[in-house]
Amino acid sequence: MAIAKAERLMNLALCLMNTRRPVSKRELRASIEAYHEVTSDDAFNRMFERDKDDLRELGLVIDTVESLDGEFGYLARSDRNRLPDIALDPEEAAALSLAAKVWQQARLAEAASGALQKLRAAGVPYEDASSALEPRIPAPEPAFEALMVATRERRTVAFDYRKANAVRPEPRLVEPWALECWRGHWYLAGYDRDRADVRVFRLSRISGKVRSRGAATAEVPDHVDVRDAVARWAGEGATAATARIRLRHDSGYPLRARALSTATVDADWDELEIPYGHGLDAWLAEFGPDVVVVAPDELRAEVVDRLRAVAKG
């Protein structure tokens, strides 16, 4: 329904903006396919007035003109609906260029590239930010794009989710609120309808397709702090489990600050006991050859897999 209304509003806006004379409601009803399905004159009039009000709220200036025979017509003059020229200084243009390089996910990368091309065509001063700074936000999880759209459109989704250490995935029905990347993993925060509570889901544990299940109904908080929710759910304080790692002398100070205990192994290595929460593998992988995971085996395997993926890339 949301997509149908958006398409109807777009078609109405196009009709009003691409005419040189006022167009009557009768002509608009005949020209826009979505209005053909409305059989009642009263229902059409109500729908048209709502659509016209919605377009005006979106910023479209619609003129109402009365003809000599008393019939009203509508049009959106191009000179009154033209956006002002975009003015960016070189620093702002460089910041946009840098931001456009962030996304590695295919659809978002294409959209960002297209936006830069339009700015160039409009004569905006553009500077390619091809410095040593190369920001990247990887989004390899198959569920990412579907959840991003569902979050934006406020649509409930269903998916199968495997909890940590679970053998089989379980069905979930969730109203998505926000997505965030935390220590190399993407997480979704939302309202779990079956459990009637807020939940956080790691996208890499979603199996199969994400399926749309209609409009969301739960009230979204004014501020959804996914990182804080993930830290409480999956961070160091979320579990009593610990990991043992070996760390080179004079390295890994953030890890040392969180260590529960530290012991010297030899002239090159120290052994640390640190809290073990979900996402620790991505953090440890950042330290490369300065860290060796001793236990548990699951964490060691996850870190090795991450390092191999980096080496292949």
Residues 267 and 251 in one domain: yes
Residues 169 and 90 in one domain: no
Residues 249 and 228 in one domain: no
The predicted pLDDT at position 83 comes to 67
Same domain, 154 and 223: yes
Give the phi and the psi of residue 197 in degrees, each rounded to 5.
Answer: -160, 165
Better-predicted residue by pLDDT, 3 or 146: 146
Structural domain of 118: 85-136
Judgement on whether residues 72 and 51 belong to the same structural domain of the protein: yes
Q: Do 221 and 165 reside in the same domain of the chain?
A: yes
Q: What is the pLDDT of residues 110-167, one digit of tens each?
A: 666 666 666 666 665 555 545 545 555 566 678 888 998 898 888 999 999 987 656 6
Q: Do 161 and 210 share a domain, yes or no?
A: yes
How do residues 195-240 score in pLDDT, each as one tens digit?
888 888 988 889 899 999 888 887 777 766 666 666 666 544 444 5
Q: What gap in Å lies between CA 260 and CA 273, rounded to an integer? A: 5
| 223, 250: one domain | no
Pick the last residue of a domain from 171, 198, 233: 233
Task: Round to whole Å and give the CA distance between 190 and 226.
Answer: 9
> How many domains does the chain contain in total?
4
Same domain for 129 and 205:
no
Choose the final residue of a domain: 40, 63, 80: 80
Boundary-marking domain end, from 98, 114, 136? 136
- Cα separation, 244 vs 261, in Å, equals 10
Torsion of CA 250, 255, 256, 262, to 10 degrees: -100
Q: What is the CATH number of the domain that holds 181?
A: 2.30.30
Answer yes or no: do 220 and 275 share one domain: no
